[in-house]
């Protein structure tokens, strides 16, 4: 939990723009016409990975691990789909909190709930994220509420099998090793399996006050 040792501002917090996408379990059927953009993306990728529309048995293979891919700088990660509760398709307006670490951008009002927004690149690498039209916010549940993690880009759903993970490697970067349990090579792409649980439990992540 990100703890903020500062008084909550009484001033108004702007409502975020539309575009929040709640993650839901996949089904074999095609996405309905009214599906959100992210649901369509998940459905499209599910079908492309299956190599044949209408063959969900390939996706439901034993040992399948489902995750959401995202990019931070030159690093590409994937976190369990169970660890990410929602995706904001654009960063919401935030109200800064005094006397906090630079990586805590502030608090945002997400449908009536105050959510701390963290620049994940700055927390991990001490580099500020340059916001573009590809920037996303991943909402992750933690004790006492949710935290929003600013990332450079969403890579969509990634499905890994036991065979994919058979040759997984450890993480040599000390800044990442406590969160990245293993690195998996999928074609030309190297994906670090990033644990949101370990992130939210980290003492330095929980303590945002200066």
Each residue's pLDDT tens digit, 99-134:
999 999 999 999 999 999 999 999 999 999 999 999
Averaged pLDDT, groups of 10, the chain, 210 residues long: 48 46 49 53 51 43 89 97 96 97 97 96 98 98 93 96 92 97 93 98 96
Per-residue pLDDT tens over the stretch 84-104: 999 999 999 999 999 999 999
CA distance 80 to 158: 9
- The CATH fold of domain 64-206: OB fold (Dihydrolipoamide Acetyltransferase, E2P) (2.40.50)
CA distance 171 to 200: 19
pLDDT, position 54: 40
- Chain centroid, CA 148 distance in Å: 8
pLDDT, position 26: 42
pLDDT, position 154: 97
Q: Delimit the domains of the chain by residue range.
A: 64-206
pLDDT, position 63: 85
131 and 121 Cβ atoms separated by less than 8 Å = no
Tokens of 65: 């691990």
Q: Is 103 helix (H, G, I), strand (E, B) or coil?
A: coil
199 and 80 Cβ atoms separated by less than 8 Å = no
């Amino acid at each position: 939990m990100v703890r903020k040792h500062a008084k909550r501002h009484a001033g108004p917090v702007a409502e975020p723009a539309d575009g929040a996408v709640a993650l839901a379990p996949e089904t074999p059927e095609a996405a309905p016409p009214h599906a959100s953009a992210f649901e369509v993306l998940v459905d499209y990728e599910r079908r492309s990975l299956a190599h044949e529309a209408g063959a969900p048995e390939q996706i439901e293979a034993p040992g399948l691990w489902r995750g959401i891919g995202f990019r931070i700088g030159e690093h590409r990660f994937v976190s369990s789909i169970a660890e990410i509760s929602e995706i904001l398709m654009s960063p919401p307006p935030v109200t800064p909190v005094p006397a906090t670490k630079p990586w805590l951008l502030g608090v945002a009002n997400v449908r009536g709930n105050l959510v701390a927004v963290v620049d994940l690149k700055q927390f991990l690498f001490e580099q500020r994220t340059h916001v573009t039209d590809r920037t996303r916010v991943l909402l992750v549940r933690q004790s006492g509420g949710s935290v929003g993690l600013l990332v450079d880009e969403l890579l969509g759903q990634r499905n890994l099998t036991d065979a994919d993970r058979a040759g997984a490697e450890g993480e040599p970067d000390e800044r990442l090793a406590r969160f990245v349990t293993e690195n998996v090579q999928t074609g030309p792409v190297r994906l670090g399996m990033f644990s949101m649980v370990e992130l939210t439990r980290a003492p330095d992540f929980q303590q945002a006050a200066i």
